[in-house]
Amino acid sequence: MIDSRNNAVLHSVAVPDVDNPHILPPPETTVWHYTRYEYFKKILETGMMRFTRLDKQSDKTDGNYSAENAFEYTPVTRELMNSIGFVETPQWKQLLYTNEVIRKKAYVHCWSLRKKESAWMWNSFLGAETRSIAICSTIKRLQIALQGHPVELQRIIYYPPGVPRPDWSYTAPFSAKDRVKYRDERELRLISVTEPEQSDESEFRLFKIDKNALVAKIVVHPLSAREFQKEVQHDLNRYGISVHVARSSLGACDLQAVAKRLP
């Protein structure tokens, strides 16, 4: 708990590691970003990475509290409240209002933490769009590529239904998602939150990046044409990025198998 008059810490409670999105895997951990090729080509042409405002994500629940937050604190916040003799229930209307305001100041770019490409991710985010790619990188490469920008890397923590989302800060729910619907994403979130006094609420933000640091490898869609692989390799060479463009190790049967598990 912080005194708003002087930012002094009055009392604190440790967040368990399992619920702490700031605890990241080792720097060499592989991460993936699945995207249409036209969007990646914009990165090649401009050297800019586009972050989408949180409330403009396709998932309209992204960054929101759960219904349980209306009447229940998380154990961390409840312990903090008990330590100072605070016994009131959550101020639900105020939580919703603040959440709506801050979501319009938060910008995200989403990656997936896994060793290999994922048929589930191809299907979920790109479907039949065969002119698409997966950018393979690492946590360290992302940090280098975005060095100097107000961008933080966070793990998404997946919560079961029926429990409140993190409530120990205004931005805590931005790193929480529903375990049933989204756990296969294994998301590593790049997030930038503008200062409260700033009026910048555009639908996206652009950050200049080090393209060579960002990209370790490119994998083309499992059902893409051979000519597309050559096109991507040509464009990478044209923009001075010396990395290999690989064909996917997956096939139509892999995509069909996971499609049966999608909603």
Could you tell me whether strands 8-9 and 2-3 are parallel, antiparallel, or unpaired per DSSP bridges?
Answer: antiparallel
pLDDT in tens, 73-120: 999 888 888 877 777 788 899 999 999 999 999 999 999 999 999 999
Q: For 172, what's the count of Cα atoms within 13 Å in the CB-facing half-sphere?
A: 19
pLDDT band at 258 (very low <50, low <70, confident <90, very high): confident
- 238's tokens: 């044209």
Is the pLDDT higher at 259 or at 203? 203
Could you tell me whether strands 217-220 and 245-246 are parallel, antiparallel, or unpaired per DSSP bridges?
Answer: parallel
- 166's tokens: 């993190």
CA distances from 69 to 164, 174, 178 (A): 5, 14, 14
pLDDT in tens, 123-160: 999 988 999 999 999 999 999 999 999 999 999 999 99
Residues 90 and 189: beta-carbon distance below 8 Å:
no
- CA angle in degrees (0–180, nearest 5) for 232-52-107: 125
Q: Is the pLDDT of residue 29 over 80?
A: yes
Residues 165 and 65: beta-carbon distance below 8 Å:
yes
CA dist., res. 235 & res. 231, Å (int): 6
Q: What is the pLDDT of residue 260?
A: 63
Across residues 43-66, what is the average pLDDT? 94
Please state, rounded to an integer, the average pLDDT across all residues of the chain. 91
CA dist., res. 208 & res. 214, Å (int): 11
Q: What is the pLDDT of residue 222?
A: 96
Could you tell me whether strands 8-9 and 152-155 are parallel, antiparallel, or unpaired per DSSP bridges?
Answer: unpaired
What burial class does residue 60 get, using C-beta atoms within 10 Å of its C-beta: 0-12 exposed, 13-18 middle, 19+ buried?
exposed
Give φ, ψ of 49 to 5 degrees: -105, 130
pLDDT in tens, 223-255: 999 999 999 999 999 999 999 999 999 999 999
Could you tell me whether strands 2-3 and 157-159 are parallel, antiparallel, or unpaired per DSSP bridges?
Answer: unpaired
pLDDT band at 261 (very low <50, low <70, confident <90, very high): low
Across residues 3-12, what is the average pLDDT? 52
Dihedral sign for Cα atoms in the order 69, 71, 75, 81: positive
Q: Is the pLDDT of residue 10 over 60?
A: no
